[in-house]
Amino acid sequence: MKIITYCYQFLQIPVVGALFSSSGDEERKNTIAKIWEHLRVVEEQCIDHEKKLFGGDTVNILDIALGSTIKFLVTIEDIIEFKILQAEKFPHLHTWFDNFKNVPVIGENLPDHEKLIAFMKAVIQK
């Protein structure tokens, strides 16, 4: 239970919204650096390199929490046209997300990527 609480704290990435309100390249770079700090902790401290998912071969609550956050980040990447979850920076997190998406019940229920982008763009423009 301690690892779930510890890792969940780092899934709370408070600066993600700042990507949309950043006024310039320097501010956006700083925001991305802060996001990378959070992702690095998850990569190094939370991902068990020997397990496909946090629950081993089955999805658990931490997988769902992290999967939601990463799906949001991956969608943002297409909106801001910058890759945040870079495979070379976060290889284990990247592999974990691929494993997560490939679980049938998850893959079947993830929102359509293009529709999610359109929705988020509409929300941002309001």
pLDDT attached to residue 10: 55
pLDDT attached to residue 35: 86
CB-neighbour burial class of residue 19 (10 A; exposed 0-12, middle 13-18, buried 19+):
buried
3-state helix, strand, coil in the chain (%, to 5): 70, 5, 30
User: How far is Cα 55 from Cα 50, in angstroms, rounded to an integer?
Assistant: 11
pLDDT attached to residue 8: 58
CB 7 within 8 A of CB 61: no
Low-confidence ranges of the chain (pLDDT < 70): 1-18, 20-22
pLDDT attached to residue 17: 67
Domain harbouring 46, CATH code:
1.20.1050.10
User: How far is Cα 11 from Cα 65, in angstroms, rounded to an integer?
Assistant: 8
pLDDT attached to residue 1: 45
Q: Which domain range does residue 112 map to?
A: 2-125
CB atoms within 10 A of CB 4: 14
- Is 0.85 topped by the overall pTM? no
> 């290889």: which residue's tokens?
91
CB 65 within 8 A of CB 4: no
Number of structural domains found in the chain? 1
Per DSSP, what are the bridge partners of residue 55? 58
